[in-house]
A and B are shown apart, each in its own frame.
Chain A
């Protein structure tokens, strides 16, 4: 399986290491031609304004939208913002997922946190599903999910932090930073 990681800015290398550990072939995507032959794409954490500007400057917006209509894309944090239809402020967005996100919804860096998160969708065949160790770093909130997008995980107070829409996946947090491979395996199954 060949998975791309959008390598404009952010922690794309952390995703690459996780995917390679699971046996995927990984391609760093910086230009439209790098999307050729991929089964799926991860848009990493980083600064969504920076990633958006570089995607516009190198004519990636339309190719990425086209890719997302056919193949799996997963956005973590900044990547989730980039996938959304609405980020409640003007900035370049792929507008692929029917979700509304609020940037820096939990506050500044001093409010960044880690927590154990229940994600029912990650339940293994044998039924075991311990909480997922989730890092929220100046994280966005998925403020609202519109059908056909669905909620995949929420905090205990009900605020949404993961959503799925067909082959598209958005998480507010960073599974690439924890060493827990369940989300990456889940995404690779989506991309198959």
Chain B
């Protein structure tokens, strides 16, 4: 076999190396250094964390390549960056920088209200958000090599991440328990490619790595998502919007590894200072919710 680059196996493989880890949102090179020092397995480079994107309003776009390059130069761990849903030129720009993962993200303002990016054509792998199995498998069909729950970014409220993880994992359990003649109708019902539905059924899990994201703010939140059955966690606003980011970041890393050990979880949860100020998703107007973006 001759040398091949940018194959789906190596794209998906990097996400497998991130499993059991914490991916942290950072807005400066200094944040990135703090995140790496705390044990992050990757960082997401962006100009504003989701909580600030919410507060500022307006159109949220891809970050300045200069900022992304500075962060890539600062840390040895993988660096991810976000582009808008459907904005394949932003993705081309990120790809040209040599970014390690592109997040086609609902946190930014969508550029296309019908279509996502055709992701197979890029050298860099993509991660995409989902609320349910159908959405996840559509993204994988387009070429996503990693999936995350959408949750509700920038709120510090974990309820939507729990809802989305339970929905995805519950649908997989249902798929595994149905007789095979019902699988085609199930694929139609959830709007997912039939071959990927079959693959998910035989694996008993999604064919790519599945992280939790959107509202995780404490070590207990991270461990909750891990116990529900995700492969790792993204923490966005939860770290650098808290009182003591370095300490909280290290605690969330430990909680993600020792998610099944309540004594360690109690230990790492002590004296973390103020968590980010949360915002209840249940009392939030529909127009303020980001998770509905994506098709």
Q: CB < 8 Å: which of A46, A49, A53, A77 contacts B20? A: A46
Q: How large is the interface on A (under 10, 10 to 19, 20 to 34, 35 or more residues)?
A: 35 or more
| Docked complex: B217-275 residues within 8 A CB-CB of A | 253-254, 256-258, 261
Residues in chain B near residue A45, CB distance under 8 A: 16-17
Stretch from B39-47, B50-58, B108-116, B156-164 forming part of the interface with A? B39-47
Q: State A91–B19 Cα separation when bound (angstroms).
A: 21
B78 touches A109 (CB 8 A): yes
CB distance from A91 to the nearest CB of B (A): 8
A154 to B5, CA, bound (A): 18
- The segment out of B93-101, B190-198, B276-284, B286-294 that lies at the interface is B93-101
Contacts of A113 in B (CB 8 A): 3-5, 7, 10
Contact code string B82-126 (vs A, CB < 8 Å = 1, else 0): 000000000000010011110000000000000000000001110
| Residues of A contacting B39 in the complex (Cβ-Cβ under 8 angstroms) | 9, 49-50, 53-54
Contact of A115 among B2, B41, B100, B253 (CB under 8 A): B2
Within 8 A of B (CB), among A103-146: 103-104, 107-116, 131, 133, 135-138
- Measured between alpha carbons, how far is A18 from B3 in the docked complex, in Å? 25
The count of chain B contact residues (Cβ–Cβ below 8 Å) is 41
Nearest residue, chain A, Cβ from B12: A177
| B101 partner residues in chain A, CB cutoff 8 A | 109
Q: Is the CB of B1 within 8 A of A114?
A: yes
| Residue of B76, B123, B254 with most chain A CB atoms under a 10 A cut-off | B76
Q: A78-B17, A116-B1, A177-B13 are in contact. Are A138 and B78 (CB under 8 A)?
A: yes
- Is the CB–CB distance between B1 and A137 below 8 Å? no
Give the CA-CA distance A116 to B77 in the complex, in Å: 27
Give residues in A with beta carbon < 8 Å to B: 7-14, 30, 45-47, 49-50, 53-54, 57, 77-78, 89, 103-104, 107-116, 131, 133, 135-138, 174, 177
Q: Identify the B interface with A (CB < 8 A).
A: 1-7, 9-10, 13-14, 16-21, 36, 38-42, 72, 76-78, 95, 98-101, 123-125, 253-254, 256-258, 261
